[in-house]
Chains A and B, each alone.
Chain A
Amino acid sequence: DAGVTQSPTHLIKTRGQQVTLRCSPKSGHDTVSWYQQALGQGPQFIFQYYEEEERQRGNFPDRFSGHQFPNYSSELNVNALLLGDSALYLCASSLVYDTQYFGPGTRLTVL
Chain B
Amino acid sequence: DQQVKQNSPSLSVQEGRISILNCDYTNSMFDYFLWYKKYPAEGPTFLISISSIKDKNEDGRFTVFLNKSAKHLSLHIVPSQPGDSAVYFCAVFVQGAQKLVFGQGTRLTINP
Distance, CA A100 to CA B99, complexed state (A): 9
Interface range, B side: 20 to 34
Distance between A84 CB and nearest chain B CB, rounded to angstroms: 18
Instruction: Say whether A102 contacts B99, CB under 8 Å.
Output: no
Contact among B45, B49, B98, B100 with A43 in the assembled complex (CB-CB below 8 Å)? B100
CB contacts (< 8 Å) of A92 on chain B: these are 43, 100
What would be 23 A-B contacts, judged by CB atoms less than 8 Å apart?
A6-B43, A35-B100, A40-B105, A41-B104, A42-B4, A42-B89, A42-B91, A42-B102, A42-B103, A43-B100, A45-B100, A58-B97, A58-B99, A92-B43, A92-B100, A99-B34, A99-B46, A99-B49, A101-B46, A102-B36, A102-B44, A102-B45, A104-B42
A interface residue numbers (CB < 8 A to B): 4, 6, 33, 35, 40-45, 48, 55-56, 58, 90, 92, 96-97, 99-105
For the complex of A and B, 9 pairs with smallest distance between CB atoms = A42-B102, A102-B43, A45-B99, A102-B44, A56-B98, A104-B43, A103-B43, A105-B43, A43-B102
